[in-house]
Amino acid sequence: MARKSFSVPLIFPAALVVSFALLLFAAPIVAGHDYRDALRKSILFFEGQRSGRLPPDQRIKWRRNSALRDGSAAGVDLTGGYYDAGDNVKFGFPMAFTTTMLAWSVIDFGRNMGPELRNAVKAVKWSTDYLLKATSKPGVVYVQVGDAYSDHNCWERPEDMDTLRTVYKIDNAHPGSDVAGETAAALAAASIVFRSRDPAYSRLLLNRAVRVFNFADQHRGAYSSSLHAAVCPFYCDVNGYQDELLWAAAWLHKASRRRGFREYIVKNEVVLRAGDTINEFGWDNKHAGINVLISKEVLMGKAEYFESFKQNADGFICSLLPGVSHPQVQYSPGGLIFKPGGSNMQHVTSLSFLLLAYSNYLSHSKKVVPCGERSASPALLKQLAKRQVNYILGDNPLGMSFMVGYGSRFPRRIHHRGSSLPSVAAHPARIGCKAGSGYFLTPNPNPNLLVGAVVGGPNVGCFPGFETLFSRVGAHNVHQCAAGGALGILFSAPLKVFPPPKQRI
């Protein structure tokens, strides 16, 4: 039956959205990849992850309304938002991070998205509407809907779902500064997206972000401690909550320009360990993202008091250069970034995003990054990121795209409930909890194409040979990968091996 394995957040599709947008600007289509098509599909993925009542302009037609009573057991409306990867649970931590990344992509690169900008903004709002519901009560943040163990014991469409829809929250007595901090960051970043598009909504987002941040800062603690049985091992925060507090303060500083947030960042830089693990970035570790985000002001000559963050960002960039010996960053024989841990593609997408963002900031300031006897120019950073993105799109030893629906050869059997089960239109009768087992176990392609989903990638245990590839992978919102979600399909764990062993990746 459905495995009880880790999920990966809905965040990385967001990272790829940014990568495609910038590559569209930096590298017009000649004979290579169609980044515009890849961008369109990476944004479309999020429509396949929607929970709640679907809008008339829903483009993924095999989905229907679902989970319309979410939150009712707790007396609150928690309908909407995004399902996590291939599951039917709504995890607030990775969902908020996905939202922050989508908002960052629109803020920095929306001008390059063309007609897809409208859909990217919609993807942000679908999530922020939910996050506003989840933070509607002062001193409370609803951080999860659905029991992961109950969900993993069933294989059923979200439209048929009858698993436990337990509501989990943090409050003054049960803190969760990590998830609350990320939620504040998401709301603050999104307030910038809507500043000119919908000023009233923007103010609502910013005011809520401030309130949630104050709650996170005043009642410090990890949600993994408060809600350990519910969130671990799925989205257990092993990195601590300190980085989320700085991350949220950085976005609130950017969104509000209030002096208090600048002072908070400077005062807490050491206390909250801004320089720790500078080459990590993902739903659980914001350090590299904090440094890159804040460094923009330094590079533009507006904030010398943040100079140490730029030094950290430079160190991060240098650690990613090929040929540099670094214990936490390596490259596969095929040229893919490899980092220890599960679901490698989430690292590829998030780090590529930061490479492109920083290259953009360097270009505008006419700077380079000094790395000992060599230097990293904006052009070099774009080249490194482009190589990673192209690998995902098919320039790899397998000759296969890691994005569902892109190119002629891509994964067709992914670990995703809605994609792997017949649609309601094709099979109107309910498919119960255990009745879906046959679809889970079948070797046949999924009947519904989750366009834009990005699978997890090479088997972590086989580095440096990368001898196996997850062909049945989860769709995740964070990185759209097998374990969770980079381009939107980063959801789950490996089930079947493809291609055969000894294939070089």
CB 306 within 8 A of CB 269: no
**H helices present in 135-176, as ranges:** 148-152
Task: Return the structure tokens found at 79.
Answer: 């309908």
Give the number of other CB atoms < 10 A from CB of residue 57.
8
CB 195 within 8 A of CB 240: no
Give the number of other CB atoms < 10 A from CB of residue 159.
18
- Which residue in 232, 316, 282 sits closest to 481, CA to CA? 282
Per the omega criterion (within 30 degrees of 0), is the bond before 233 cis? yes
Question: 448 — phi, psi (to 5°)?
Answer: -115, 125
Per-residue b/e over 4-30, b at no fewer than 16 CB within 10 Å? ebbbbbbbbbbbbbbbbbbbbbbbeee
| Burial of 209 from C-beta contacts in 10 A (0-12 / 13-18 / 19+) | buried
Residue 219 is a catalytic residue:
no
CB 89 within 8 A of CB 151: yes
Side-chain half-sphere of 294: how many Cα atoms within 13 Å? 32
- How far is 130 from 358, CA to CA, in rounded Å? 30
- Which residue in 349, 338, 334, 480 sits closest to 405, CA to CA? 480
Choosing from 347, 415, 416, 476, the catalytic residue is: 415
Task: Describe the crossing of helices 242-256 and 199-218 by its angle, rounded to 10 degrees.
Answer: 150
Question: Which residues, in sequence order, are bridge partners of residue 374?
Answer: 371
- How far is 208 from 256, CA to CA, in rounded Å? 12
- Which residue in 177, 337, 192, 349 sits closest to 255, CA to CA? 192
Question: Active-site residue numbers?
Answer: 415
